[in-house]
């Protein structure tokens, strides 16, 4: 399993012609994490096809290996030999999650229910990101933190075989917190519940049920209660991972911006908790559609067609944020070309991602000649028929910032250079190759 390069890799995009072709994006990152984790907790063998082989996912795979699960790539598929609930062992070295907040937070829920000590660490970006909102409920269940009062990596977690089940109401919508608590609940004696006031990604609930856990969901005052019964048995199962809609968003955006484009992206996950970006694009007048919708492993998938077209500014309500939180950077890039203002509310979460994405997008857009401002948790981008480009953009080690501005450069009047494209490998290592297949090219190093 390879490591990311340590030296920055600038990359430049230039105005492109029509993008054409049919492609398939790599597997969904959220489902890939969960397939590995639940396979490691199951009894028997789980064979995963279409796993996203990005650095984020490989970090989770390495962590599970260190905890005693069998995880190996074999003939293009990944085989996980589960240790069973409670069967993981103490790792001999720190668990390094690289840039992956999802991997670290979900694995905290797993480690909480095992009698072992594990040091969680990551790269410079991950060490700056808050973990307290995940650790708080897990500590109520019985997890201990050796570095008392601290909530950022590196941290030493001390798990227990005596986790206490609980009902936890999410203070803010977060699929990662919900998932960590439910995964810990698998190892507690009794029922563990999470109450959410706004619906968040439900991949954990779907996959728990697919692996045989007793999961239920019911409407309650103020939201939805999701519950899992602990100390059951998970059974290894085959998993086919559909294409990641967050990765597909960059290709779709490029097609919308480049005149004459018409592309088809096959087998994209279209779970309703993940399609807020595409709903917003339709409101903006984008020429996109879902074709051949079908079900796979309990998840809805479809082929996504995107064609070039003009966009208009819209208001994106805060309630939509959980279903498109990762797509706001590329939406902001698209909004720079739309007619009128696009106002995006409820984006406070973006300040604690791989970077302060609100600040990074505003700075990059302004550098490229667009009009953008952030006030509180609202981002406003006022579009123009022509976006100058001709700028260098700081990515702050954030893969989505890098890809968003590379897409913007395909439609800008002058080239756009991102200071480091190496971090794209954390989520979408095939980005450059797939864009090339469709007709876009990027140049290594700084622009001319």
In sign, the C-alpha dihedral spanning 119, 98, 106, 322 is positive
Query: Is 448 an active-site residue?
Result: no
| DSSP code of residue 445 | S
The secondary element (H helix, E strand) that includes residue 315 is strand 315-316
Structure tokens given for 251: 């290709």
Strands 167-169 and 191-196: parallel
Q: Is 6 exposed, middle or buried (0-12, 13-18, 19+ CB in 10 A)?
A: exposed
Q: In terms of DSSP H, where are the helices of 235-327?
A: 245-257, 276-283
Distance CA 205, CA 47 (A): 20
Report how far residue 87's alpha carbon sits from residue 80's, in angstroms, rounded to the nearest whole number: 14
β pairing state of 95-96 and 77-81: unpaired
Strands, DSSP E only, in 389-434?
A: 389-393, 414-418
User: Cis omega before residue 154 (within 30°)?
Assistant: yes
Say if CB 178 and CB 103 are below 8 A apart: no
28, 326, 398, 420: the catalytic one is 326
CA dist., res. 185 & res. 183, Å (int): 5
E strands within 123-261? 144-145, 155-158, 167-169, 191-196, 215-220, 223-229, 239-240
Cα–Cα distance for residue pair 116/97, rounded to 1 Å = 18
As given in the structure block, the two tokens for residue 432 are 């450059």
Residue 273: name the closest of 173, 349, 203 by CA. Answer: 203
Distance (Å, rounded) from C-alpha 326 to C-alpha 102? 12
Instruction: Specify whether the CB–CB gap between 40 and 207 falls below 8 A.
Output: no
For 150, what's the count of Cα atoms within 13 Å in the CB-facing half-sphere? 13
Helix residue spans in 175-244 (DSSP H): 175-185, 203-210
Whole-angstrom distance, CA of residue 185 vs CA of residue 166 = 8
- Burial of 436 (C-beta count, 10 Å sphere; 0-12/13-18/19+): exposed
Please identify every residue annotated as catalytic. 326
């Amino acid at each position: 399993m390879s490591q990311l390069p340590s030296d920055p890799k600038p990359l430049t995009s230039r105005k492109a012609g029509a993008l054409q072709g049919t492609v398939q994006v790599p597997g969904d990152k959220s489902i890939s994490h969960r397939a590995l984790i639940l396979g490691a907790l199951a009894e028997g063998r789980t064979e995963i096809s279409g796993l996203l082989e990005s650095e984020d996912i490989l970090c989770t795979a390495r962590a599970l290996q260190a905890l005693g699960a069998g995880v190996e790539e074999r003939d293009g598929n990944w085989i996980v030999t589960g240790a069973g609930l409670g069967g993981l062992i103490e790792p001999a070295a720190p668990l390094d999650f690289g840039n992956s907040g999802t991997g670290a937070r979900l694995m905290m829920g797993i480690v909480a229910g095992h009698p072992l000590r594990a040091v969680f660490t990551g790269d410079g970006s991950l060490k700056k990101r808050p973990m307290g909102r995940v650790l708080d409920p897990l500590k109520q269940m019985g997890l201990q933190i050796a570095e008392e009062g601290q909530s950022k990596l590196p941290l030493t977690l001390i798990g227990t075989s005596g986790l206490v089940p609980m009902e936890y109401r999410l203070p803010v919508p977060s699929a990662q917190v919900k998932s960590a608590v439910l995964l810990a609940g698998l190892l507690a004696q009794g029922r563990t519940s999470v109450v959410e006031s706004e619906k968040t990604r439900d991949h954990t609930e779907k996959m728990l049920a697919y692996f045989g856990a007793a999961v239920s969901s019911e409407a309650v005052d103020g939201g939805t209660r999701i519950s899992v019964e602990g100390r059951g048995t998970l059974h290894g199962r085959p998993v086919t991972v559909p294409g990641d809609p967050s990765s597909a968003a960059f290709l779709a955006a490029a097609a919308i911006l480049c005149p004459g484009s018409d592309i088809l992206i096959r087998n994209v996950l279209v779970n309703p908790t993940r399609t807020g970006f595409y709903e917003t694009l339709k409101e903006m007048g984008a020429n996109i559609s879902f074709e051949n919708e079908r079900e796979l492993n309990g998840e809805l998938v479809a082929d996504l067609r995107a064609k070039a077209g003009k966009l208009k500014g819209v208001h994106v309500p805060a309630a939509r944020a959980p279903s498109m939180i990762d797509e706001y950077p590329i939406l902001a890039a698209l909004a720079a070309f739309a007619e009128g203002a696009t106002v995006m509310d409820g984006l406070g979460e973006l300040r604690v991602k791989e970077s302060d994405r609100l600040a990074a997008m505003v700075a990059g857009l302004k550098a490229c000649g667009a009009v953008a401002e952030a006030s509180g948790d609202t981002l406003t981008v006022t579009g123009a028929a022509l976006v100058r480009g001709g700028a260098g953009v700081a990515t702050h080690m954030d893969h989505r910032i890098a890809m968003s501005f590379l897409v913007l450069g395909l439609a800008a009047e002058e080239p756009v250079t991102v200071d480091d494209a190496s971090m794209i490998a954390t989520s979408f290592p095939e980005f450059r190759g797939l864009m090339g297949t469709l007709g876009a090219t990027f140049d290594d190093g700084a622009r001319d």
